[in-house]
Chains A and B, each alone.
Chain A
Amino acid sequence: MDDLSKSDMKFFSDQQHCFADILLPHEVPARIQVVVLNFLKILSSPDPAISDLPLINRKSSNSRVSEGILTDVSWIFLSHSFCSRSLMKANATKAFIRVWKVMEMCFEILIQDKRVTQRELFYKLLCDSPHYFSSQLQVNRTIQDVVALLRCSRYSLGIMASRKGLVAGRILLQEPNQEAVDCSACGSSGYAISGDLNLLESLSMKTDARYIVVVEKHAIFQRLAEDNVFNQIPSILLTAKGYPDIATRFLLHRMSRAFPDLPILALVDWNPAGLAILSTYKFGSIGMGLEAYRYACNVKWLGLRGDDLQLIPQQSLAPLKPRDLQIARSLISSTILRDNYRQELAVMMQSGQGAEIEALYFNGYDYLVKYLAKKIVQANYI
């Protein structure tokens, strides 16, 4: 995918493609300097003005789908529609200044050759400008604004992704100049995926697994790891403990390229949120649309699916919450879902009910492993 963006021969759809560059540490300060110079030029011009900041629109209206022609992978990307942040708009002034403040802080971090996590950045900003930053969420959104302005990846800004993901199973991971880690021996906690994308890039990987299983929930991951499912079915287990973060997706993507013969199977709850998580691994996201497209993988939906509902008791079905329905509506409206996924989603919405993977325990604590094995052997995934 990266090669495609560099090649001279571009399909029409690729010309619409707007993406964030992965830059070296010295390149981002240069871009920030360009922004400052342009701002000052306009401020000091004969007809002075305070420029707006044009940001790539991260909304579904600006999202496009790239259908995999040569590969099985489709992904979502953003096109060239902009929105702007302006100092002069009464309620948007603070948001405008927040972008500058984060830019300033990233600039300082990069000049000093450091890296910070989003959490650390939040605390630094809180101390420095308490009037502007009140929550982590706000900081994260502002970081995305800076990504959209400078069109460089978040990691290039010196901000590390969070350490959320875990790996377990039949894979050996080795950091440069370190001992190899056998993820099957890590116990139920697994190997913690670093937030440092450079580090993840430098990992060497060896496996004899036949499948990669992406698990939505931490509890399920732990159970499967404890039960050593990867010894029964030669597999690698991966989880982001919920909504996938960039680091986990990055590693999954690396694995998919390093081991292209391994099918990637997802085990998620039977509800719109579960499908959303699966879709993010599979297609990327709009929120981080400028970079997320790189890590789209051909993930298949193992379970829970509609025909698994017969395996669980009626009483374990729970009504969908309003937020679930919202998610479902936006999924339905997205053009990227294939028909088979749409059908599953339609059944969810019609019944108004969902089920969690844990419902399978009704049949016994070891049932999960059996379920998994059976489905894999039957190649019962879409």
Chain B
Amino acid sequence: MDISSVQKLCIHLISSAVQRCRLSEGLCRLSVVLKSSPPIIRVSISDTGTGSCLEEFQDLKCNREGIGTEKWDGLLSIKTTSISDNKIYHYHLNLRGSVSARRLTRLPSIPKNDAKFSGTEVCLSIFETIDALLKDIKHYFQKMLILKIPSVAAELVIERGDASGLRCENVFLPNECSPLNFSSSNVERLKSGLEEYVLKHRNSLNNKCDSCFCSREKLKISSGVASSMESHRSPGLIVEAVIAISELSESLCFRSSGNKTEVLHFKDFSPGSVSIASLNALTSIDWRSYGLTLVSAVDQVDHALIEWESLPPYLHIDMVIHCYHKQYPGKYKYQPDRHLIKKGVKLALDDLKEKHTGLLLSAHAVKICSYAPDLASSIAGIILSSNDLKFRSKCSTLLELSQSQAIGKQTVEDRIKEKIISVIETNDRKPEKIKEAAPFLFVDDRPQDLDPADLYLEEHAGGDNVFSFPD
């Protein structure tokens, strides 16, 4: 793959290290050390994951338009060993070398003396300011937190080479307090990750914001997983989508992004770019059946930005999509098609609707609900006008109200309205539901408009003159 900047190169190397850690069973450590002796930074990325096959480095291409030679000389120093190896292999890889054979130089191996471990260390030197590099690396790690890969303990160490030899450390560990353990599924971890991300106001805070999210109800989160079958032509792909809806009564903290949603993308356990398939999937979903109207979905490099038409001011939607191959490692030639992504997102949306009544009601349902008070009022009017005590008592029983005489119209009306709205909301969750039974049988179902054949025998206004309206 092409590397276009030193930041991207470092991120790629860190990402590979993460993948290697993921592959190995058990807890791994990932260290990124930046030793700064201006103007050079010595970057060292080491992990205790599985050993590396060198292909992943040899596939890197470094063209002239990307990283200039003044930034990086193209040399990678790689030390790697697998658990079954009895020595640590050491290589120098020159990615700017013209002849492939001469790129890789083998250096003397280091004996392991029967110790059982695996890991890799990649070192390179670059001409760059530490701040430029640090920003991207930190951003990467913050995003990776969302994935909550459990087996990786990562640390980022910055050594500034000056007289006092100061070191600062930032450690990025999976949240110790979460109830997740190694056996949680990927999607559960993704959910937990997104939840924390939102609770921390999109990683702008170090801890959850308790004032905005004072109750559990404020944040509603759900997930959907869609997978494609493995075949000889394509590997099995999995798309996981997680959607979080926060209902904040006031914007107590800084202003939220209003009508926009950032859809974070991950690909194979690494922050990924937005694919066309993904944008197509997002735009082709029937948002109206969830009560939303999509104005636009735009690729903003590391996330897709969705703009909604008029969300309620207190409502905010966050989304993350993770596409990955079932088998790792493998050749990653296949992109998930939009159907799979669409399916994953829809499953998450339906899950949200299923778990939370009244959330994401389709526009149709909202409209019908607006009529519920009038219907309830009519029915309550009939009940309360009646002189038949048995009838009124039966109605009270059906509505689960007390049998006392003193029940007011408003109480009856509210109860009926509640029940009607609840039915509408339930029906809304299953758009394909078959029509419910009427109290009496009905056999035929025809539209109510009259065809011309009926005009002669139609009595306008039940007996009044066809030629003029009644007096």
Residues of A within 8 A of B (CB): 29-30, 32-33, 35-44, 48-54, 57, 59-63, 76, 80-85, 87-88, 90, 92-97, 100-101, 103-104, 107-108, 111, 118-119, 129, 131-132, 136-137, 140, 143-144, 154, 161-164, 240-247, 249, 272-273, 276, 279-280, 285-288, 292, 323, 326-327, 329-331, 333-334
> Which B-chain residue is minimally distant from A286 (CB atoms)?
B457
Query: Which chain A residues lie closer than 8 Å to B374 at the CB level?
Result: 97, 101, 129, 131-132
Query: Which chain A residues lie closer than 8 Å to B456 at the CB level?
Result: 272, 276, 279, 327, 330-331, 334
Give Cα A97–Cα B455 distance, bound, in whole angstroms: 26
Give Cα A246–Cα B470 distance, bound, in whole angstroms: 13
Query: Which chain B residues lie closer than 8 Å to A162 at the CB level?
Result: 463-464, 470-471
Given contacts A100-B375, A144-B462, A162-B470, 5 further A-B contacts (CB under 8 A): A36-B391, A83-B447, A136-B469, A137-B461, A331-B456
B419 to chain A, nearest CB (A): 5
Query: Which chain B residues lie closer than 8 Å to A276 at the CB level?
Result: 456-457, 466
Give Cα A175–Cα B334 distance, bound, in whole angstroms: 93
| Interface residue total, chain B, C-beta cutoff 8 A | 65
Quick check: is B383 within 8 A (CB to CB) of the other chain? yes
Given A49-B436, A50-B423, A119-B471, A111 and B385 contact (CB-CB distance below 8 Å)? yes
Q: Which B7-64 residues sit within 8 Å CB-CB of chain A?
A: none
Quick check: is B232 within 8 A (CB to CB) of the other chain? no
Residues of B within 8 A of A (CB): 364, 367-368, 371, 374-375, 378-379, 381-383, 385-388, 391, 394-395, 398-400, 416, 419-420, 422-424, 426-427, 435-448, 450-471
> Which B-chain residue is minimally distant from A273 (CB atoms)?
B466
24 inter-chain pairs at a CB distance below 8 angstroms, sorted by A residue, are: A33-B382, A36-B379, A37-B395, A44-B419, A48-B422, A50-B420, A51-B439, A80-B443, A85-B448, A90-B364, A93-B367, A137-B461, A143-B462, A164-B463, A164-B470, A242-B466, A243-B464, A243-B466, A246-B462, A246-B463, A247-B463, A292-B459, A329-B453, A330-B454
**Pair A83/B446 contact, Cβ less than 8 Å:** yes
What 4 A-B pairs come out closest when comparing CB atoms?
Answer: A49-B436, A245-B463, A38-B439, A242-B465
Identify the interface centre among B374, B381, B382: most chain A CB within 10 Å of its CB.
B382
Identify the interface centre among B398, B437, B462: most chain A CB within 10 Å of its CB.
B462
Query: Which chain B residues lie closer than 8 Å to A245 at the CB level?
Result: 462-464
Query: Which chain A residues lie closer than 8 Å to B400 at the CB level?
Result: 44
Query: Which chain A residues lie closer than 8 Å to B448 at the CB level?
Result: 83, 85, 92, 95
**Pair A84/B445 contact, Cβ less than 8 Å:** yes
B393 to chain A, nearest CB (A): 11
Query: Which chain A residues lie closer than 8 Å to B423 at the CB level?
Result: 43, 48-50
Give Cα A30–Cα B386 distance, bound, in whole angstroms: 10
Query: Which chain B residues lie closer than 8 Å to A38 at the CB level?
Result: 439-440
Residue in B379, B385, B461 whose CB lies within 8 Å of A140: B461
Give Cα A104–Cα B445 distance, bound, in whole angstroms: 25
Query: Which chain A residues lie closer than 8 Å to B426 at the CB level?
Result: 48
Residue in A48, A88, A143 whose CB lies within 8 Å of B368: A88
**Pair B439/A35 contact, Cβ less than 8 Å:** yes
**Pair A40/B398 contact, Cβ less than 8 Å:** yes
Query: Which chain B residues lie closer than 8 Å to A40 at the CB level?
Result: 379, 395, 398-399, 416
**Pair B470/A119 contact, Cβ less than 8 Å:** yes
> Which A-chain residue is minimally distant from B422 (CB atoms)?
A48
Given A37-B395, A104-B381, A93 and B455 contact (CB-CB distance below 8 Å)? no
B320 to chain A, nearest CB (A): 34
Give Cα A323–Cα B447 distance, bound, in whole angstroms: 22
> Which B-chain residue is minimally distant from A122 (CB atoms)?
B470
> Which A-chain residue is minimally distant from B383 (CB atoms)?
A36
Q: Is the interface of A mostly helix, strand, loop or mixed?
A: helix
Query: Which chain A residues lie closer than 8 Å to B446 at the CB level?
Result: 57, 59, 61, 83
Give Cα A88–Cα B364 distance, bound, in whole angstroms: 9
> Which A-chain residue is minimally distant from B387 (CB atoms)?
A111
Identify the interface centre among A40, A60, A95, A288: most chain B CB within 10 Å of its CB.
A40
**Pair A84/B455 contact, Cβ less than 8 Å:** no
**Pair B378/A84 contact, Cβ less than 8 Å:** no
**Pair B454/A54 contact, Cβ less than 8 Å:** no
Given A87-B375, A285-B458, A326 and B452 contact (CB-CB distance below 8 Å)? yes
Give Cα A128–Cα B340 distance, bound, in whole angstroms: 52
Give Cα A97–Cα B439 distance, bound, in whole angstroms: 16
**Pair B436/A51 contact, Cβ less than 8 Å:** yes
B270 to chain A, nearest CB (A): 45
Query: Which chain A residues lie closer than 8 Å to B419 at the CB level?
Result: 43-44, 48
**Pair A82/B444 contact, Cβ less than 8 Å:** yes
Query: Which chain A residues lie closer than 8 Å to B471 at the CB level?
Result: 119, 162-164
**Pair A107/B388 contact, Cβ less than 8 Å:** no
**Pair B388/A33 contact, Cβ less than 8 Å:** yes
**Pair A334/B375 contact, Cβ less than 8 Å:** no
Give Cα A113–Cα B357 distance, bound, in whole angstroms: 44
**Pair B436/A286 contact, Cβ less than 8 Å:** no
A101 to chain B, nearest CB (A): 5
Residue in B371, B382, B453, B460 whose CB lies within 8 Å of A137: B460
Give Cα A162–Cα B374 distance, bound, in whole angstroms: 29
B458 to chain A, nearest CB (A): 4
Query: Which chain B residues lie closer than 8 Å to A80 at the CB level?
Result: 443
> Which A-chain residue is minimally distant from B375 (CB atoms)?
A97
Residue in A36, A50, A60, A62 whose CB lies within 8 Å of B382: A36
> Which B-chain residue is minimally distant from A84 (CB atoms)?
B442
Residue in A83, A94, A132, A272 whose CB lies within 8 Å of B444: A83
**Pair B444/A329 contact, Cβ less than 8 Å:** no
Residue in A44, A48, A49, A280 whose CB lies within 8 Å of B457: A280
Residue in B367, B439, B454, B462 whose CB lies within 8 Å of A154: B462
Give Cα A163–Cα B443 distance, bound, in whole angstroms: 37
Query: Which chain A residues lie closer than 8 Å to B398 at the CB level?
Result: 37, 40-41, 43-44
> Which B-chain residue is minimally distant from A240 (CB atoms)?
B465
Given A42-B437, A48-B422, A100-B378, A243 and B463 contact (CB-CB distance below 8 Å)? yes
B391 to chain A, nearest CB (A): 5
Identify the interface centre among A30, A36, A104: most chain B CB within 10 Å of its CB.
A36
Given A43-B419, A88-B368, A247-B463, A60 and B442 contact (CB-CB distance below 8 Å)? no
A235 to chain B, nearest CB (A): 24
Give Cα A103–Cα B399 distance, bound, in whole angstroms: 20
A243 to chain B, nearest CB (A): 4
> Which A-chain residue is minimally distant from B469 (CB atoms)?
A136
Query: Which chain B residues lie closer than 8 Å to A63 at the CB level?
Result: 457
Given A44-B400, A60-B457, A279-B456, A136 and B470 contact (CB-CB distance below 8 Å)? yes
> Which B-chain residue is minimally distant from A272 (CB atoms)?
B456
B121 to chain A, nearest CB (A): 64
B377 to chain A, nearest CB (A): 8
> Which A-chain residue is minimally distant from B438 (CB atoms)?
A52
Query: Which chain A residues lie closer than 8 Å to B443 at the CB level?
Result: 80-82
Given A50-B420, A292-B459, A326-B455, A83 and B445 contact (CB-CB distance below 8 Å)? yes
A276 to chain B, nearest CB (A): 4
Query: Which chain A residues lie closer than 8 Å to B375 at the CB level?
Result: 87, 96-97, 100
Query: Which chain B residues lie closer than 8 Å to A288 at the CB level?
Result: 459, 462-463
**Pair A94/B371 contact, Cβ less than 8 Å:** yes
Query: Which chain A residues lie closer than 8 Å to B416 at the CB level?
Result: 40, 43
> Which A-chain residue is minimally distant from B381 (CB atoms)?
A104
